Each structure stands twice: as C-alpha cells, then as structure tokens.
Amino acid sequence: MSLLRILLIAAAFVFIGILPIHAKDMIVKEPPKSLSKYYPPESKQPKWIQQMHKMSTHFGGIFVNLKEKDFENVDIHADKLVEEYRKTSEMVPEWEEYFNIKAAEDFAAAAKTHDIAKAGKASSGLGKTCGKCHAEQEVSVWAKFYWPRFNKIKVTDPISEKEIEFDDYMGSISSSFKGVTVNFGEGQYDRAAKALKVFKSRYMELKSTCSKCHATQDVKRFYVGQDADKAFAGLSQELNSEKPNPGKFWKNIGLIGKTGCKHCHLVHRTNSFIQEMWEK
C-alpha cells in the first residue's frame, strides 16, 4: 500500500471522526449552567474552547508526527490527548456521558504502534464521541457564548435622547416606519413627511449601534450605507413634491427594507431568537 493511500485513509478516518453526526431533528437547548464558568464573564479566558483546542492539537499532532515519522512526539501527543480528554470529561458533569475514556486510551495505544492505518482506524471511535457532542451542543454553545447579546445593547433614541433597550428601540423604529407608510397610504403626505424625519433619524442611529460591536466602517455601511441614504433622499424628494409618485415612494421603501432591515435580520435574528428564549 502506497504511503499516499495510507495517508488518505488516515485523513478520511480523521474527518469522519471529527465531523458532527448529522440528524434532521436538532434540538437547540440551553447549555448546562456549569459550562458558564469556563466562559467570560465568569471566567477571564474562554477555557472551554481552549480545552477543545488543546485536544484538537494533540489529536492532529499525532497524525502530523506519524506522517513525519517523529514517533517520539507521536507518543507525547497521544499521552497528552488522553490526559486532556480525561480532564475535559470532568469539567461539565452534565456532559460526562459524551466522553469515552476507553476510546481515547485505545486510540492513544493505536497511535503508539506508530502505524498510521491503525491510528486512523482507532480514531473513529474517539472522533464519534466528539462528533456526537458537537452535533447536539455546538450550536447552543455558540449561541450562548459567542454571539453578542442584543439584550445588552442600549441605544440612545435620537428623538427622546433616552437610552433604551435594543428590543424597544427596534419597536420604535418599526412604529416610526409605519408612521410614514400608513400616512402615505392615506394620502396624508405632510404627516408622512414629518414621520419620515423621525424614521430617518432613528434608522441612521443604527450606524452608532453597529459600531458598538463592529470595528470596521464597512460593516455598518453594508446595512446603513449609501443605498439607504439614496432611498431616504428619494423618499424625501417624493414627500416634498407637489404630487408624490407612489411608484417611486414604495420602491424606496422597499430598498430600505431590503438593504438594511432584511440584511441585518438575516444575519442576526436567528441567533437573537434563540438567546431571547433562554433569557425569558
């Protein structure tokens, strides 16, 4: 068997082992409370993911060194992997059952034979334990500990100049938006023009809101950028004209909805729905 074939087989085992187990029904449930102590703010460092990286490094280190025939380091990584795996299994008691120490030990023993095919084969048993936990818990962990929480964001409403919760602010944007569209639909163009000032002001405030998390200008420009500016200018022009053109008005309303609201909601809402459920 050529070395290349052996490596391909080994790589296949590694990938099969690491890939999550796919299931059509996925339940996103809040991670156990004991995990919180391994993530900020309870912990200064994100210790859980650091632990994952440690295991992953030792796992990868075995195959890198088998390939390089650096058997001394293969043995070191094999021992360390078992050690870190055992340590991880004790960190979150609620997840103890995901771990199989014997599978880790069997894999380490196979790796220590320095036979890459044996190691690859033995890795699948261990990989499945990782994959099962990832498939069932990874989305929840990311939703809980990685995605920023919208409920922590406070926004200064440009109209009242009061600092309010993000959700309430979204509600106020929505109301001022309706002030524009409802009045326009009723042919009350002056009222729609006044409502547009309020809506625009609140909408543009979102640039400051995006900046609370995003460090680059381009991100906020994607949502509240030139397209939105043009759409607002178009709306203002229509509402200040003698006879507003409904076609142009609704086209610009649609542009704001598409370029701003929808783009941002596509990225952020799913996660925020999950977080909201847990925070109720």
Partner 1 sequence: MKRTSRILDLIIGLGLLCVAGFAMLYFLINERFEWIPKQVLDLARDPEILKRPAAKKCSECHKAIYEDWKDSRHSISWTSKNFIEASENRTKEKCLPCHIPKSVQGEKPSPRLELRDEGIYCVSCHFIDNKMQGPYDLLAPPHPTFRNPDYVRSNFCGSCHQKTYKEWKATDVEDTCQDCHMPRKKGRLTQKAGFNLLHKKRWVGDHRFLHGEIKKKDVVIESEWEENFFLISLKNQTIPHSVPTADNGDPRLYLYIKFFNEAGEEVDNAKEIIAPQQETALPYNKKIQYRYRLFDKIFKAKIELKYQPAWSKEKTIVRVKTVHR
Element (H, E) at 208: helix 189-211
Please give the Cα distance from 253 to 241 (Å, whole number).
Answer: 17
217 counts as binding partner 1 under rule CB under 8 A = yes
Please give the Cα distance from 126 to 62 (Å, whole number).
Answer: 13
Please give the Cα distance from 231 to 141 (Å, whole number).
Answer: 39
Please give the Cα distance from 211 to 205 (Å, whole number).
Answer: 10
Cβ atoms of 62 and 75 within 8 Å: the answer is: no
Which member of 111, 193, 195, 235 binds partner 1 (CB under 8 A)? Answer: 193
Please give the Cα distance from 52 to 46 (Å, whole number).
Answer: 10
Contact code string over 151-180 relative to partner 1, x by CB under 8 A: -x-----xx-x-x-----------------
241 counts as binding partner 1 under rule CB under 8 A = no
- Shortest distance, CB of residue 10 to partner 1, whole angstroms? 36
Cβ atoms of 180 and 199 within 8 Å: the answer is: yes
Number of residues that bind partner 1 (CB under 8 A): 25
5 counts as binding partner 1 under rule CB under 8 A = no
Please give the Cα distance from 66 to 159 (Å, whole number).
Answer: 65
Q: Is the Cβ of residue 159 or residue 267 nearer to partner 1 in the bound state?
A: 159
Q: Looking at the DSSP assignment, which residues form a beta bridge with residue 185?
A: none
Contact code string over 105-144 relative to partner 1, x by CB under 8 A: ----------------------------------------
230 counts as binding partner 1 under rule CB under 8 A = no
Which member of 40, 171, 185, 187 binds partner 1 (CB under 8 A)? Answer: 40
27 counts as binding partner 1 under rule CB under 8 A = no
Interaction site with partner 1 (CB under 8 A)? 40-41, 148, 152, 158-159, 161, 163, 190, 193-194, 197, 201, 204-205, 207-208, 211-215, 217, 220, 240
